[in-house]
Structure 1
Amino acid sequence: MLTRGDPLAGLLEGPRARGALMIRACFDPPWAVRVEDRAPLTVMLMVRGEGWVVPDEGENVRLRAGDLAIARGPAPYTCADAPGTPPQALILPGGQCAYPDGRLLNGSMDLGVRTWGDRLDGSTVVLIGTYLMQGEISGRLLDALPPLLSLGSDVWQCPLTPLLMEEIIRDEPGQEVVLDRMLDLLVIAALRAWFSRPEAAAPAWYQALADPVVGRVLRLVQDDPAHPWTVASLAAKAGVSRAAMARRFSDLVGEPPMTYLTGWRLALAADRLRDTQDTIGAIARQVGYGSAFALSSAFKRVYGVSPQEHRTRAA
């Protein structure tokens, strides 16, 4: 369902963890773990001590107790007590763990239920949640995020930390579902705080919402994607000429209004294919396509797979 008038809420509807990997990592310096799992999104919450997230490209991020970082895949990175510490372990796709030379760890660093590292009372404790499948995170949300972002405890206090520390080591029926929902809440709360910061690199369309003309057009499109919009009808609703609206929209959003509308419709279709059992024909009508065939043609042109293939992969 669309959230009318609140595009950020619509964007943050994306996280839907299904059997996500959640662990409590406990280390003593020196420590370093190389992450090459190609996961779409990983959140790291420093509970005790401090450490660094070192991407292969871009600036290093230092984390102190209470700080949080979110890494957007598939680019690899290293988590360590210091940027120069050589990795002692390698995280591979599917949560598989190995030594740097490729030999499997075979549980040698397991410390208990969802706990991993050197020792239980290590000087550094990090809670890590990883979305394992691309379909668990909305493509619109991933496109809006930088490869690595961080929130310091001076600008954001995580209310979930005590509860996460308690729940992550529980071994009870249904516990994975509980942790999945808690991970979704953690990510949503963190991203809401991050998007609210003036320096956050929010997507161009989100920034353009403040413009009286383009913001009006964006809300019309986002609130009612199934309407047969044209440049002329959008310009009339915004109270400006077609040429003025198209030029202003392209300048602020970075693409023409009809291109944005197509992308928005297909992104919504991708999310609904993942999150609902609606037929492709029904989804086509919901997002502004006259038939399943019309949606399928546009979807495959942009995503490279048919809607049914996308649904199967997400499942």
Structure 2
Amino acid sequence: MDVLDDLLAGTRARGGVFNLTIMDTPWALDIRDGAQLALATLVRGSAWIVRDGIEPTRMETGDVAIFNGPEPYVVADDPATEPQLRIHPGGICEPLPGAPVDYSARLGVRTYGGRLDGDAMLVSGTYLLEGDVSRRLLTALPSVLVVPADAVAGHVMSMVLGEIQRDEPGQQSVLDRWLDLALITTLRAWFARPESHAPGWYQAQSDPVVGLALRLLHEDPAYPWSVVELADRTGVSRASLARRFSALVGEAPMAYLTGWRIALAADMLRETTDTVEAIARRVGYANAFALSVAFKRLRGTSPTTHRRTTLQSA
């Protein structure tokens, strides 16, 4: 298992919300669904993405966009076009003042708009993410990223149009799995692009030494790793591994391992009823006290307090 596999394992669609919106020029869609992560592709037409803090971003037919964070954004034929529809949490579609009267009409399952052959057709799906493992992936992404159609797996994107308009047994699971596959292929294409400024842990995976060290740490984070053993396993000296790992990943091997262990523990505290002692051993600490010391050093709070506050905010 590599680093991206591990991060994506905590980023899975479960009951994702999907919309197919069809509009005529001039058109603009104000999206306020509060999703932590969303993916959209243009089946027809071209668009601009407008979001606070970034320059308007162009999107063409077949391109795929990923939106990072719950802040609202607008997808429109022109940055100056006033929104006519607003998407709320749960995929609820609201017509705004000045919109054609039929713009919030249901044209089919998960489908809204005026007419099926409208100028623009936008498919979107959203994730509602929780947890520290997912957060490590999100911090590596910009507010908005767009991957051109020719860089994304075509068959993955072309299949969604038929699936999103079906209402058959198990359809939600089909769409969730499509969303996962589309996200993975888009992220791989994005990280491969020079403008992505891919994080150190991603770039380091192609290094024969550091990439192997990362895989070892992720395959068995509970193992009592040391720089000496990692160096032995990767076939280099301790000093060479430490220097190479820090240069590529941005932190020392044991600091990286500690951060990963604490992220795993934080998610286990939120998602399970296991004792702190049991979680400590699962992520590589001798006992609850050792985990508590490391957890408080990195998070400023104890594992027990973290569990209590995350449950209260759920």
TM-score (norm 1): 0.81
C-alpha deviation, 1:166, in angstroms: 1.7
Question: RMSD of the TM alignment (CA)?
Answer: 3.3
Instruction: Indicate the residue corresponding to 2:284 in structure 1.
Output: 288
Instruction: Please give the per-residue CA displacement for 1:99-144, whole angstroms capped at 9, x wherever unaligned.
Output: 668xxx9x94433321123322212111100113435982232222
Residue 259 of structure 1 corresponds to 255
Please point out which of 181, 185, 189 is paired with 1:185.
Answer: 181
- Report how far residue 211 of structure 1 moved: 4.2
Provide, for residues 209-245 of structure 1, a one-character-per-residue CA deviation record: whole Å limited to 9, x for no partner: 3445544443332232112234454456553345x65
- The residue type paired with residue 299 of structure 2 is V
* CA distance 1:172–1:135, change in 2 (3 Å): farther
For 1:69, the aligned partner's letter is A
Given candidates 108, 111, 115, the residue that maps to 2:107 is 111
- Gap regions ≥5 residues in structure 1: none
Q: Does 2:61 match 1:65?
A: yes
Deviation at 1:145, TM superposition (A): 1.9
Task: Return closer, same or farther for 1:255/1:174 CA change in 2, 3 Å cut-off.
Answer: same
Distance in 2 between residues matched to 1:161 and 1:236, nearest whole Å: 44
Describe the shift of the 1:292–1:310 C-alpha distance in structure 2 as closer, same or farther (beyond 3 A): farther
Letter in 1 for 2:61: A
Count of matched residue positions in the alignment of Structure 1 and Structure 2: 305
Q: Which amino acid aligns with 1:187?
A: L
Instruction: Determine the structure 2 residue equivalent to 1:41.
Output: 37
Shift of 1:24: 0.7
CA 308–235 in structure 1, closer or farther in 2 if over 3 Å, else same: farther
1:57-111 Cα shifts (integer Å, max 9, x gaps): 223322222111111113332111111112223334444444668xxx9x94433
* Residue 302 (structure 1) aligns with: 299
1:54 paired residue number:
50
**Separation in structure 1 between the aligned mates of residue 132 and residue 167 of structure 2, nearest angstrom:** 24
Q: 2:137 aligns with which of 117, 138, 141?
A: 141
Equivalent AA in structure 2 for residue 306 of structure 1: H
Aligned residues of 1:115 and 1:169 also touching (Cα < 8 A): yes
AA at the equivalent of 1:240: S
Tell me how far 1:27 sits from its aligned partner: 0.7
> Which residue of the other structure, out of 237, 241, 249, is the alignment partner of 1:240?
237
Contact 1:65/1:153 (8 A) holds in 2: yes
- The structure-2 alpha-carbon separation of the partners of 1:118 and 1:254, relative to structure 1 and needing over 3 Å to count, comes to same
Deviations 1:146-203 (A, max 9, x none): 2211121222242134432122122234322222122112212222233334543221
Aligned to 1:28: 24
Q: Which structure 2 residues correspond to residues 184-223 of structure 1 after superposition, within 5 A?
A: 184-211=180-207, 213-223=209-219
**What is the match of residue 224 of structure 2?**
228
What is the CA deviation profile of residues 265-312 of structure 1, one whole-angstrom value per residue up to 9, with x for unaligned ones?
A: 123334556777866544432221223454456456539662465478
User: Take 1:268 and 1:33, find their aligned partners in 2: how far apart are those partners?
Assistant: 37
Does residue 120 (structure 1) correspond to residue 116 (structure 2)? The answer is yes
Q: Residue 165 of structure 1: which of 131, 155, 161 is its match?
A: 161
Q: Note closer, same or farther for the CA distance 1:122–1:196 as it changes in structure 2 (3 Å cut).
A: same
Pick the structure with more helix per residue.
2
Unmatched 5+ stretches in structure 2? none
- The answer to whether the Cα contact below 8 Å between 2:201 and 2:248 also exists between their aligned partners in 1 is yes
Partner-residue secondary structure (3-state), 2:299: helix
| Identical positions, percent | 51
Evaluate the alpha carbon distance shift between residue 264 and residue 170 of structure 1 in structure 2; reply closer, same or farther with a 3 A threshold: same
CA contact (8 A) 1:39 1:74 kept: yes
TM-superposition CA deviations, 1:18-55 (whole Å, max 9, x none): 21110111111111122233311111111111212122
Q: Which deviations, in whole Å up to 9, do the C-alpha atoms of 1:236-267 show, x marking residues without a partner? A: 6553345x654543333223333211111123
Q: 1:280 to 1:173 in 2, by over 3 A?
A: farther
The 3 A distance-change label for structure 1 pair 253 and 100 is: farther
Q: CA–CA distance in 1 between the matches of 2:132 and 2:155?
A: 23
Instruction: Between 52-61 and 122-131, report the one with greater CA deviation.
Output: 52-61
Change (3 A) 1:285 1:61: same
